[in-house]
Amino acid sequence: MRNGEVSRVFRTIADMLEIKGESHFRINAYRRAAQAIDDLPDHLDDRLRENSLLAIPGIGKDLAAKITELLTTGKLSYFQSLQAEIPLSLIQLMSIPGIGPGTARVLQEYQITDVDELERLARAQQLRQLPRIKKKTEENILRGIELFRGGLVRRPLGRVLPLAVGILEALREQGYLTRASLAGSIRRFRDTVKDIDILGVSSDPARTVEVFESLPGVTETLASGSTRISIRLDSGLQVDLRLVDEDEFGAALCYFTGSKEHNVRLRELAIKQGMKLNEYGLFRENERLAGRSEEDVYRLLGLSYIPPELRENRGEIEAALNGELPCLVTSKDIRGDLHVHSIFSDGHNDLEQIARKALGLGLEWVGICDHSVSLQIAGGLSVDRLREKLRAVREFNERSPDIKLLCGAEVDIDRSGNLDYPDEVLSELDLVVAAVHTSFRLEEAQMTSRIVRALKNPYVHVFAHPTGRLLGEREPYQVDLPLIIAAAARNGKALEINGSFQRLDLNDVHCRAAKEAGVKLSIGSDAHRVEQMDDLFLGVTVARRGWLKASDVLNTMSYRELTHYLKDSSMQPDRTH
């Protein structure tokens, strides 16, 4: 049984306990355990063999026993007993916006556990006849079903972030907000976002509410009060604005940024020190000690300031207590883009246009990585065409003092792990980015073996978008990432953080595992149009969530440093096989 399957069982148990109205302590114990399992860089099977399950954060004897039962039998008797009380179809209903544990309990009582049945009753206005379900609840459930069916519950960060920034700027332009910030998962730069949270301090709250409700694209106001306003956009996205007092802004920003697990740990830390922390401030008895700024809150708790990207309860609080938080890589550290397509394959811009865009982004170099010959659907380059591109890049560099290009290729890995160009061709390139673009349905062992073999090639520098996922469109292919990370470490290969808003692949957890294994990370926008080179920033957010420093990322090197590094990293075969 894979780690993800165990974590899904634990999350489902937490949902079931929530429907039953069990204590928050028990519910959160299962959710924390599920998150800890998802964050593991290795396999639970290995932990079981090494008798080290109890070393996993949040795993005590009871949960360790349940993990053992799942791993050894493939089943969990406790989970089965819960399913006898609460069908899994009812858990699915809780994925619908507007249905919380209380509503789910009512639906269970009346044996409504199917989405189609729920929608039929709501459209017939029969749900409102049930206890504790009002007309507004019924309407919200119908809207939630539409979102659920449309796959719009969570959306890629890169689609939502520009919209959120635009809304925040529109509110600021009115001049009533004296302080304002995005909050929630979008401020933590999670790869997918459910809604937009904005926090502000206003000199005229009533006018701010009026402006907010009249923004372009607003289709309805879901809730309107003096301090919290919720609107729905024509895209179906919900936007929440909370207005707080100046003295509360920092504490509220910390609270509404989350994550929930991070906030729980902060509150526990405050209690141990005889204080109380909530969205209004940090208090000792009735005296507010901090609240105006997040920095003050963390400082008085004895912590270094924790960047929002790290607030996931993955060891950041312990690191902050010990003064061991990393100095995270920033966009200012980035000196180049390692993965851009040009008109030589399926890109829309020539070398000059790409260079101008890069200069505008403050970059010093760009890796031009067009598709290899077998990917004909993407204009894959023949060897002759590749060499024509190589000459064009060399000529560009001779006349360009301000920015340099690397002649690279995004080279396909076939089913057997062979590369799309022979070694004598690969040796001519500045940069070789290997990638999987076909045969996604291979079994895990075959897919892993395929990639590991490609990583042994001495001319490969980077393995691109390592899981092949497309957010909201395609699940990752089955691959043993710990083995891929180990192979990259053995062979001196970098793993890519693909900054395309559709990919963000590797994700943050695997980036951190790669870093800890001594693997370098590269960031590429995978741009096919120059505007998409802006997605390089999204790759940086993943790197920061993965605890990466500038020294962990190839993009922070100068052109001279990078070219020397790439040459030195070639011709380093795997000496362990």
Strand arrangement of the beta sheet that strand 287-290 belongs to: 276-278, 281-284, 287-290
Beta bridge partners of 328: 549
Query: Long-range contacts: 568-575, Cβ < 8 Å, 24+?
Result: 569/461, 569/492, 569/493, 570/427, 570/458, 570/459, 570/461, 571/458, 571/459, 572/458, 572/491, 572/492, 573/456, 573/458, 573/491, 574/455, 574/456, 574/487, 574/490, 574/491
Query: Over the chain (577 residues), what is each successive 10-residue block's mean pLDDT?
Result: 82 90 88 82 89 91 96 94 88 80 86 88 92 88 78 79 92 93 98 95 95 89 90 86 97 97 96 97 96 97 98 96 97 98 94 97 98 89 97 97 97 97 97 96 95 98 96 85 97 97 96 97 96 95 98 98 90 46
User: What pLDDT sits at residue 377?
Assistant: 81
User: What pLDDT sits at residue 152?
Assistant: 52
Contact 545, 316 (CB under 8 A): no
| First-residue to last-residue Cα distance in the chain | 28
Is this structure's pTM higher than 0.95? no
Give me the residue spans of the domains in the chain: 3-149, 155-243, 247-321, 331-569
Contact 396, 366 (CB under 8 A): no
**Fold of the domain built from segment(s) 247-321:** Beta Polymerase; domain 3 (3.30.210)
CATH architecture of 155-243: 2-Layer Sandwich (3.30)
The CATH number of the domain covering residues in 331-569: 3.20.20.140
Q: Compute CA 417 distance to the chain's CA centroid, rounded to the nearest angstrom.
A: 28
Contact 461, 569 (CB under 8 A): yes
Largest CA distance in the chain: 77
Strand arrangement of the beta sheet that strand 218-224 belongs to: 177-183, 196-202, 238-243, 228-233, 218-224
Question: 469-488 burial by CB neighbour count: b if 16+ within 10 A, else e?
Answer: bebeeeeebbbbbbbbbbbb
* CATH 1.10.150.110 given to domain 3-149: yes
* Alpha carbon distance 269, 494 (integer Å): 38
Contact 460, 420 (CB under 8 A): no
* Alpha carbon distance 461, 494 (integer Å): 6
User: What pLDDT sits at residue 572?
Assistant: 53
Contact 427, 409 (CB under 8 A): no
Phi, psi of 244 (to 5 degrees): -130, 170
* Alpha carbon distance 467, 532 (integer Å): 21
User: What pLDDT sits at residue 385?
Assistant: 96
User: What pLDDT sits at residue 394?
Assistant: 97
